[in-house]
Structure 1
Amino acid sequence: MSRLTHIPAPDGVAPATAYTHVVMGTGRFVAVSGQLALDERGDLVGPGDPAAQARQVFENLRRCLAAAGAGFDDVVKLTYYVTDMAYMPAVREARDAFLDPARLPAASAVQVAALVGPAFLMEIEAFAVIPE
């Protein structure tokens, strides 16, 4: 059985505002490669629109997790790669539509110079733990 434990503020560490500092889990590990704002045909969703791209990325993450028998409740870590930190509010809004804001996974956000193509504004990867 998979069990996740969230530790939002370890002793001596400032409280997190949009993630959990530590998430521990037991079970099988699932790694989902960074997802882009591509639909099922491989077409870009939301050119120039960070909110539309974020929604599509989280939908792709949902589908990838489901293929492994997982869901967002099983996610222990998200890594956000954005070409501009100004896109993070749109990312958080999309995230909160898919994840329970009271049980957020650990997370890192990194601004990058570029992604695989100039039209992509973000890429997000996920790590999850599911029952054995």
Structure 2
Amino acid sequence: MKALFSSGLLLFIAGTAAAQTRPASVTFLNPATVAPAKGYSHAAQVDLGSSTMLIISGQVALDAQGAVVGPGNVGQQAEQAFANLKAIVEAAGGTMRDVVKLSYFLLDVSQLPAVRTVRDRYINTSTPPASTAVQVSKLFRDELLLEIEATAIIPKKQSTR
């Protein structure tokens, strides 16, 4: 029995090591429709075979030229952040219905209802994505009130023969 367990453990370890040596197919995306990324990518696309996982960096209220939209107004800032998320998802060939996870980072979590009002114009409210909301003490620029990151699973188009 001990030999059988040891053999199974060795096979598991060998299989795990082999899986880790095969790099996943990952590409990075920086659409021109959102503010230029400086020192990071807006999204990482991971090929999952029949679909693509899109991991989107936190989006804030910066327009395509990098200017802050809606200083002091969480609703306007949420609108810009969601517009940025939508632009990135669409650049990867998806729609906002493909978003499966949203994470919110807010200076004031009591503003979450205003953010949800905007969110509901972008997502499928009958099956909303999983989400997390966190209150933070500061974001990378003083004018920013929130940051929103997302993950999407985008089905690949089936070829018709």
TM-score (norm 2): 0.64
Q: How does 1:114-125 map to 2 (within 5 A)?
A: 114-125=138-149
Max Rg structure? 2
Structure 1 distance, partners of 2:94, 2:153, is: 8
Q: Which amino acid aligns with 1:58?
A: F
TM-score (norm 1): 0.78
Say how many residue pairs are matched.
107
Decide which structure has greater strand share: 1
Among candidates 73, 97, 118, match of residue 97 of structure 2 = 73
Determine if the alignment matches structure 1 residue 57 to structure 2 residue 94. Answer: no
| CA deviation string 1:87-112 (max 9, x = no partner) | 20111001001112111000000001
Q: Which amino acid aligns with 2:80?
A: Q
- Superposition CA RMSD, Å: 1.0
Determine if the alignment matches structure 1 residue 101 to structure 2 residue 125. Answer: yes
Where relative contact order (Cα < 8 A, 6+ residues apart) is larger, the structure is: 1
Structure 1 runs of 4+ with >3 Å offset: none
Which residue of the partner structure matches residue 57 of structure 2? Answer: 33
Structure 2 distance, partners of 1:28, 1:114, is: 32
- 1:27 CA drift (Å): 2.1
Q: Secondary structure in 2 aligned to 1:118?
A: coil
Q: Which runs of 5+ in 2 are unaligned?
A: 1-49, 157-161
Q: Secondary structure in 1 aligned to 2:126?
A: helix
Q: Secondary structure in 2 aligned to 1:46?
A: coil
